[in-house]
Chain A
Amino acid sequence: MDYFKSLQSFFGTTANSRPLEGIKVVEFSHYILGPNVPRLLAQLGAEVVKVEPPPRGDRWKYAPMWGGKGFYKGMRIDYLYLNANKYFLGLDFRKEEGYRLLIELVKKADVFVENMEPGTLDRYGLGYLQLREVNPRLIYVSASGYGQFGPLHRLPSYDIIGQAESGIMDTTGWEEEAVDELYRLPDYPGDWLPSTMAVGAVLAALIYRERTGRGQYIDLSQAASLQRFMYHFVYMSATERRLRRSGFFDPFALVSGVFKTRDGRYVAVAAMTEDQVKALAGEVEGLLEALGDRWRVYKSVQRWVSGKTLEEVLEAGRRLKVPIQPVMTDIDVLRDPWRWERGSVVKIFDRLYGEVVVPGPLFKMAGGDIGVKWVARPVGYHNKLVLKKWLGYKPDEVDELVQRGVLGYWDGQLGNTPPPGWKAEEDPVYQGERDEV
């Protein structure tokens, strides 16, 4: 039987199972690095409560992306994605009563995630050393630029600082006679990659806890996570030379680069092995003779590519079994039929924000129902639902906490508001009467 057909049956039977169902997470984080850890856990079915001091909470929601055009029905689109599948609790932990409430939530939690500057939460009685006393099974993640200890640990960080300190920027750009420039890696991979790796550590800690009953502290450093992939240190110490910034060349490929096709499209070519080079050499004149000199190699491939359209180059890649792919733009990515077919781009119907196009999950899992169920909500939107589900509070008890300033809601500013036309009295989830899905 055809391999793909036989696989289809495994993906076709959705058991609606989500691997982390039953796992409870308290998120106390902002911007990207911290919130992406619970985002990915929530994709897998964990119940995540994002705790924010009302009314503003996580300030990342207000950043005016793309000249102010990044908002979708009042909320920023990437914030809607980053905080999908979460429950929003607007709680002032600096008030005694708010602190006590948060501790009650922590007692019920399996995982706690924070990314304040190291030591900040200790000052509020919410550091690992304090919370392990109330919940020894807790898995506590602190995410920061440099980690929680070591000579640099107190310095503030963002993705770009993590990039600068890790050395990764010194690998990215050009280091040629003609051009000597380096660049930050765009779109904040110093946040996204470390936080993705942290999820692996959380899962491993859950597995360990299942066997031993012991929680633990995970100390995530942005820069150290990036350094994990910098083979440059090995090269440098083995040769006593630096591996130059690579431009568009993969320094570990035999033939590589970005080229322009006859129809003006950019295309990436990377032959990693000798058999791939041989296959390419059957079509690219002078390739074998040029090997070892990357610019000579580049010129010979460019001559070949420039005589073909993108489609012709891609067809050659498939025929020769050599990795060749177009340099996709944002629009190419969004409109790519393969992504829609695979579910890497999905249109969901969100109860509040209506039709929203969202990224799919990081992987597909046979029989699993993972991915985005609902997008972010403004501060405090789930106050009633969370306190009912986790601690058994009644709606009027929640209202009293609001009156005392322990709990609160959004400020209604752009980036922190329900969509236009939303009515509190007509929303059973906001009222705590039913769940999101």
Chain B
Amino acid sequence: MTEREEVLRELFKPEGKPAALEGVKVLEICGVNFGCMIAGSLLAELGAEVYTVLDERAARVTADGVYINGVGVPYFVEGRGKKRVEWRDVETFLPHVDILLDGLGAGRLAARGLGYPDVAERYPRLIYVAVSPFGHYPTSKSREYAEVPDSDLTGQAYNGYMAMLGNPNLPEPYSYPIRAGIWLAWAFAGAAAAMGALSAYWQRMKTGRGTFVDVATNDVLSVDHPYQIGAAFVLNESRRRSPTIDANLYVTYTTARAKDRFVAIASVIWPEIEAFFEIIGRPELAEKWRDAMAQVEKDPDAIKPLEKEVFAVVREIPAEELIRRSREKGKPPIAVVKTLEEVAAQVHWRLRRAIVEVSCGKKLLSPGTPYVMSETPGRVNSPC
């Protein structure tokens, strides 16, 4: 271990340190909206005291009927460290709340007399954060879809994300657009809502006034990623879905099947692309690739025969050999695509508390916290 690493390990030790948001009270009323719940969880990991009005239907969401201590797998993670509040207590609890997270849908809390216009008057310091499919901000769709619940899959679809994912060359329906394997739209919505809540909290520290923050699951991913809008703006057409070469850079920034398993190849800039062709033993292909890239504008399929040839070569080389060669050359970064089992077994992620072992009747693995902070480390609250 280098001296730097040794110092940093000591610096980041979480034991005995405060959390950044100690004293901040959050009430979440999320229904079955996990984007909203993720926001609450991220604030809890940063030290906020989070209370939740539990919708039993959210606790029932799970895969293959798997329940742990009576709750589904997603709620097992996103319910961590949250204290329950009953509906009947919300009114009396609200004066003590700094941040209210509303995931029920536009107008639903208003129907109970708890919409932003109602509570803003009574509690001007309150920060009200809404997470819903089309937002609460008045638009034709926020009205039209006010009563339709949120979902991650439809969020990924409406953000233009799924249109870029999957292999169109497979037989139907495997050729259809597919999803990112995690709740990506809800993760973005939750991260954006936490960011909105904290920027409003910061503003309140200066002005003494709360505000309304409105997150729409169906746009957050496509305003954070610049490609859906940027590509359509300059190209005046949609990009083509590609399972191998990168749909933006047209380079070998991709997963590929090596001889024994999948690898991820990260060639982005030209020296890395050249190095990649060298390590697969075909340096002459670099120039051909450059020529093909130049033709793509006129002929979108120009790169295809070359692509086929390149990946056929990669398929003959064992993964570890590819990695050895890339490290020897210094570029491009290549890594084995780790299986879930391999990731779960790695010391590195345990050491960083990214993956933690929890004891809930039996020992279980769970995502920990990504917040590694020297003064106020992220909290990994117990799910049990």
Complex interface bits, B5-38 against A, C-beta within 8 A gives 1, otherwise 0: 1011101100000101100100000001000001
Once the chains bind, are B32 and A183 in contact (CB under 8 Å)? no
**Contact flag A19-B354 (CB < 8 Å), given A233-B340, A322-B148:** no
Q: How far is B138's CA from A1's CA once the two chains are assembled, in angstroms?
A: 14
Is B106 part of the binding interface, using a Cβ–Cβ cutoff of 8 Å?
yes
A325 near B218 with CB under 8 A, answer yes
Question: Per a CB cutoff under 8 Å, which of B172, B370, B376 touches A197?
Answer: B370
B340, A232: Cβ atoms closer than 8 Å: yes
B277 at the interface (CB under 8 A from A): no
User: Nearest chain A CB to B335's CB is how many angstroms away?
Assistant: 4
In the complex formed, the residue of B with least CB distance to A332 is: B160
Interfacial chain B residues near A215, Cβ < 8 Å: 375
Tell me if B51 counts as interface (CB < 8 A to partner A): no
B residues near A158, Cβ cutoff 8 Å: 253, 266, 268, 333
Q: Is the CB of A225 within 8 A of B364?
A: no
Contacting residues, chain B, for A63 (C-beta < 8 A): 249, 268-269
Docked-complex contact B4 and A122, CB < 8 angstroms: yes
Cα–Cα, bound, A156→B326 (Å): 11
Asked whether any CB of chain A lies closer than 8 Å to the CB of B284, the reply is no
> Is the interface on chain A under 10, 10 to 19, 20 to 34, or 35 or more residues?
35 or more
Q: Which of A8, A20, A129, A231 contacts B77 (CB 8 A)?
A: A231
Is A7 interfacial (CB 8 A cutoff)?
yes
A300 interface hit (Cβ, 8 Å) = no
B215 at the interface (CB under 8 A from A): yes
A275 at the interface (CB under 8 A from B): yes
* Contact of A252 (CB < 8 Å), options: B73, B203, B235, B375: B73
Q: Are B193 and A363 in contact (CB under 8 A)?
A: yes
Contact of B333 among A161, A210, A332 (CB under 8 A): A161
Cβ–Cβ contact A363 & B192, under 8 A: yes
User: Quick one: which of B161-195 are within 8 Å of A by CB?
Assistant: 161-167, 170-174, 176-184, 187-188, 191-195
CB of A413 within 8 Å of the partner chain:
no
Q: Which chain B residues in 54-108 approach chain A with CB under 8 Å?
A: 57, 60-64, 66, 68, 72-74, 76-77, 106-107
A161, B340: Cβ atoms under 8 Å? Answer: no
* A63-B268, A273-B61 known; A235+B179 contact, CB < 8 A: no
Complex Cα distance A1/B117, Å? Answer: 10
Contacts of A343 in B (CB 8 A): 137
Given contacts A69-B297, A189-B184, A218-B372, contact A160 B253 (CB under 8 A): yes
Binds B, one of A101-109, A352-360, A423-431: A352-360
B201 contacts the other chain (CB 8 A): yes
**Among A5, A150, A275, A337, residue most surrounded by chain B Cβ atoms (within 10 Å):** A150
Bound CA span A74–B299, Å? 23
Q: Mark A351-373, 1 if CB is under 8 A from B, else 0.
A: 00000111111111111100000
B186-221 Cβ-contact flags toward A at 8 Å (1 or 0):
011001111110111111010100011111101110
Using Cβ atoms and an 8 Å threshold, which residues of chain A touch B73?
Answer: 231, 234-235, 238, 252
Q: Which of B21, B153, B351, B372 has the most CB of A within 10 A?
A: B153
B344 at the A interface (CB under 8 A)? yes
Q: When A and B form their complex, which 3 residue pairs have the shortest distance between CB atoms, in order from nearest?
A: A171-B181, A224-B354, A268-B157
Contacts A10-B116, A68-B297, A183-B166 aside, 5 further interface pairs with beta carbons under 8 A come to A171-B180, A182-B337, A201-B373, A208-B21, A333-B160
